[in-house]
A = this chain, B = another copy of it.
Amino acid sequence: VTSNFRTAELAAGRQGAPLSGFFESAILAHPTVTRVSQNIGGIGNATVVPKLDGSGPSYFAFDTGPGNVLIDAAVRLLTGSQSHYDKDGKMGARGKDRIDEDLLEQYLCNEPYFTTAPPKTTGRELFSDDVAAKLVDELRTRGWDDDAIVATLTRITAESIVRAYKTYVIPMVGHIDELYICGGGAFNPNIVDYVTTRLPHTKVEVLDRETIGISAEAKEAALFAVLGFLSICGRPVPIPHLAESQEQKILGAVTPGENYGQIMAQVDFSRVGESLGRIHVKSS
């Protein structure tokens, strides 16, 4: 078993999350196309993979802010936990012409996370069920119905992603040619459609086998298989651009099991500590 990959990142002075950047960049790297991979889980995180022509920085990754956390919490609150998320974006779609733009601006301007430049990482401590409950209360006080409330929280989420690109990504990489969305939020058309409309010159797709050669479900599993492989081999994970430090570390810990001998006998220990450089995964 290999585990505990973030500890060494923290020891090197980095934030330890998202860890997936190097793997996303290995899948997405392209000679002439600048790509962004946007995961929308509870939290949203982006991996930016500039084209490989050498004109831009290497990849970097950061959390954009809320993923589905605010929407899910609102739906649970408004339906008395009958629903745990806005399935197919139906509530949000019904409310989409009654979005409280004023509250949206207020929230996106006043939450300091959005105005902090990468490297940055966040979690449920900033984007929590409590924050969702406060936003729901405020929107109710303003007279909005349930669908309008869900639509507004969906728009806040989608707009926070778009603004992260416009503020921190596009000024650095010039233009995003292709955007691949994965995670639960990829199944919410209100998010995907809005992001597509706001980025008219970017090809927006859901990340899956058809578009990028690896299914979204398999991506995390493959990432951790590679992390485990690097740990056993004692090879450091490549460090992204915009990291807090460039100190290389071997990540993870190896807990010997019954197959420890078989596995370790295959490792070339003379290459321990050797940098991988930029790695490429042939995803097909």
Instruction: Say whether, besides A256-B231, A256-B234, A270 and B265 are in contact (CB < 8 Å).
Output: yes
Contact among B253, B265, B270 for A261, CB-based, below 8 A: B270
Least Cβ–Cβ distance between A80 and chain B, in angstroms:
40
Do B258 and A273 touch (CB < 8 A)? yes
Contact among B7, B254, B269 for A254, CB-based, below 8 A: B254
Least Cβ–Cβ distance between A255 and chain B, in angstroms:
4
Kindly identify, within residues 251 to 284 of chain A, every residue whose CB is under 8 Å from any CB belonging to chain B: 252-258, 260-262, 264-265, 267, 269-273
Copies of this chain: 2
Do B252 and A273 touch (CB < 8 A)? no
Q: A257 — nearest CB in chain B belongs to which residue?
A: B250
Least Cβ–Cβ distance between A41 and chain B, in angstroms:
28
Contact among B260, B265, B269, B272 for A250, CB-based, below 8 A: B260
Least Cβ–Cβ distance between A183 and chain B, in angstroms:
30
Contact among B7, B255, B262, B265 for A252, CB-based, below 8 A: B255
Least Cβ–Cβ distance between A156 and chain B, in angstroms:
41
Do A269 and B258 touch (CB < 8 A)? no
A265 to B270 alpha-carbon distance, docked (Å): 8
Least Cβ–Cβ distance between A130 and chain B, in angstroms:
33
Contact among B7, B8, B234 for A264, CB-based, below 8 A: B234
- Residues of the B chain whose Cβ atoms lie less than 8 Å from the Cβ of A265: 269-270
A272 to B254 alpha-carbon distance, docked (Å): 14
* A interface with B by C-beta (< 8 Å): 3-4, 7-8, 231, 234, 250, 252-258, 260-262, 264-265, 267, 269-273
Apart from the given pairs A4-B255, A254-B254, 5 other A-B contacts in the complex at a CB distance below 8 Å: A4-B253, A253-B253, A260-B272, A260-B273, A265-B270
